[in-house]
Amino acid sequence: MSLRLRLPHHHSNMSESTKPHHPNPQGKGEKTPGTDFSYVGIDAILEQMRRKAMKQGFEFNIMVVGQSGLGKSTLMNTLFKSKVSRKSVQPNPEEKIPKTIEIKSISHDIEEKGVRMKLTVIDTPGFGDQINNENCWQPIMKFINDQYEVYLQEEININRKKRIPDSRVHCCIYFIPPTGHCLRPLDVEFMRRLSKVVNIVPVIAKADTLTLEERDYFKQTIREELRANGIDVYPQKEFDEDADDRIINDKIREMIPFAVVGSDQEYQVNGKRILGRKTKWGTIEVENIAHCEFAYLRDLLIRTHMQNIKDIAGSIHYETYRVRRLNESNAHFASLPSDHLALQSKTNGQPEEQPGAPQANGVAAQHEALSHEM
Ligand SMILES: Nc1nc2c(ncn2[C@@H]2O[C@H](COP(=O)(O)OP(=O)(O)OP(=O)(O)O)[C@@H](O)[C@H]2O)c(=O)[nH]1
Ligand SMILES: [Mg+2]
């Protein structure tokens, strides 16, 4: 089955925008104006939007999360080396991927048919190595929230940039160990927390360790468990915009979690260079949909749903953060004694630091300053 999905009509996507197009800079439309007087030419806005998008380029940030040793760093390299950016990566044959010890972002500028994209993958250290894995999600959650905070600070700045650099995590790929049984409590808890702040796409890591029957059974079990635990993964049902959207997304929801295999090694198979894992009994081709579902994952992220993922990240997840932070700062503002406020307005709108409210010096401070200006 091929996953050539169409985006909902209101979303732009790369392949759409790269279709051959005849520019019409005067905005007079494509019908001949002389013969159709009722034609205004509103459709020329599409061309204007296309040109603007081409000029600005796209930013897309993906994070990989999961237990140590599940192949997160490998899959990140697979993504960069696979069709997405094969040209932009220098081959680096025998280098072994080390264990990841800190959160690290790697960006690649990719250009295809004149469309520029900065694809950033945020690699995170695996968890689950400790005897006590309590709160192991904290560094990840902190990173995600820190990026929201950076964006928020830029947004509420009086002299804000015309285009705010976007380091927010648009999507998080969560790696599930290929146990074949069920989700572990740690994975349930981690995904439950993550799904509230970011889009998550769960994948079964190292899927080459499962037989086809095991894989199907495990996928189904995971879907049931996600549902039973109220974990809403991408694409979330409640954000389907219309019936077309629902049909497309239902298909994806039936396939989730994608059973993936990662590799950054290239081999020659039938005269073609492929990314694969060579074993005693054959070579697993990671981009071959008969072998694993990596290609579906890549297509979902890059080809068909990138804009939608970014929209949900911005209008749902970031918005939730923004509302909470601004409410916090309002509450802080309301709780200040009136003589304190009077004093502050004299001091050029720069509030004193509140010892009892550590986060208040971020948004709250800015927000107060704004309030005093008005
Ligand atoms: N069988 C199999 N092995 C894999 C796969 N992907 C990665 N590996 C191997 O698993 C080992 C660990 O891979 P990494 O990519 O470093 O794993 P990681 O999740 O980044 O690990 P941490 O950085 O410790 O969190 C390496 O030896 C990889 O070659 C896969 O899909 N299947
Ligand atoms: Mg790693």
Res 271: pLDDT: 86
Cα–Cα distance between 61 and 63 in angstroms, integer?
Answer: 7
Q: State the distance from the centre of ligand 2 to the C-alpha of 360, rounded, in angstroms.
A: 35
Binding site membership of 126 for ligand 1 (Cβ less than 6 Å): yes
Residue 35, number of CB atoms within 10 A of its CB: 7
Cα–Cα distance between 210 and 204 in angstroms, integer?
Answer: 10
Cα–Cα distance between 204 and 215 in angstroms, integer?
Answer: 9
Binding site membership of 206 for ligand 1 (Cβ less than 6 Å): yes
Measure Cα distances from 105 to 92, 121, 171 in Å. 19, 6, 14
Whole-model pTM: value is 0.79
Structure tokens at 168: 């927010």
Task: Give the three-state DSSP class for 106.
Answer: strand
Binding site membership of 73 for ligand 1 (Cβ less than 6 Å): yes
Nearest atom in ligand 1 to the alpha carbon of residue 100 is 23
Cα–Cα distance between 162 and 170 in angstroms, integer?
Answer: 20
Q: What is the pLDDT of residues 299-343, one digit of tens each?
A: 999 999 999 999 999 999 999 999 999 998 887 777 766 665 555
Res 133: pLDDT: 74
Res 172: pLDDT: 97
Strands 282-285 and 272-279: antiparallel
Strands 171-176 and 200-204: parallel
Q: Return the residue matching tokens 């260079």.
A: 273
Binding site membership of 259 for ligand 1 (Cβ less than 6 Å): no
Q: State the distance from the centre of ligand 2 to the C-alpha of 97, rounded, in angstroms.
A: 7
Res 340: pLDDT: 59
Cα–Cα distance between 192 and 188 in angstroms, integer?
Answer: 6
Question: Ligand 1, atom 21: nearest CA belongs to which residue?
Answer: 69
Q: State the distance from the centre of ligand 1 to the C-alpha of 73, rounded, in angstroms.
A: 7
Res 95: pLDDT: 67
Q: Return the residue matching tokens 């307005």.
A: 345
- Ligand 1: residue of 73, 74, 140 to mutate (most ligand atoms within 8 A of CB) is 74
Binding site membership of 276 for ligand 1 (Cβ less than 6 Å): no
- Give mean pLDDT in consecutive 10-residue pieces for the chain, a chain of 374 residues: 43 42 46 67 88 86 94 89 55 70 89 86 84 82 96 91 92 96 93 96 96 95 96 94 93 95 89 90 92 95 94 96 91 69 47 40 39 36
Binding site membership of 125 for ligand 1 (Cβ less than 6 Å): yes
Nearest atom in ligand 1 to the alpha carbon of residue 70 is 19
From 304, 296, 201, select the one nearest 244 (Cα to Cα).
304
End-to-end distance of the chain based on CA atoms, in angstroms? 58
Q: State the distance from the centre of ligand 2 to the C-alpha of 126, rounded, in angstroms.
A: 6
Nearest atom in ligand 1 to the alpha carbon of residue 76 is 15
Binding site membership of 99 for ligand 1 (Cβ less than 6 Å): yes
Q: What is the pLDDT of residues 201-240, one digit of tens each?
A: 999 999 999 999 999 999 999 999 999 999 999 999 999 9
Structure tokens at 352: 């004193």
Q: State the distance from the centre of ligand 1 to the C-alpha of 49, rounded, in angstroms.
A: 41
Res 28: pLDDT: 44
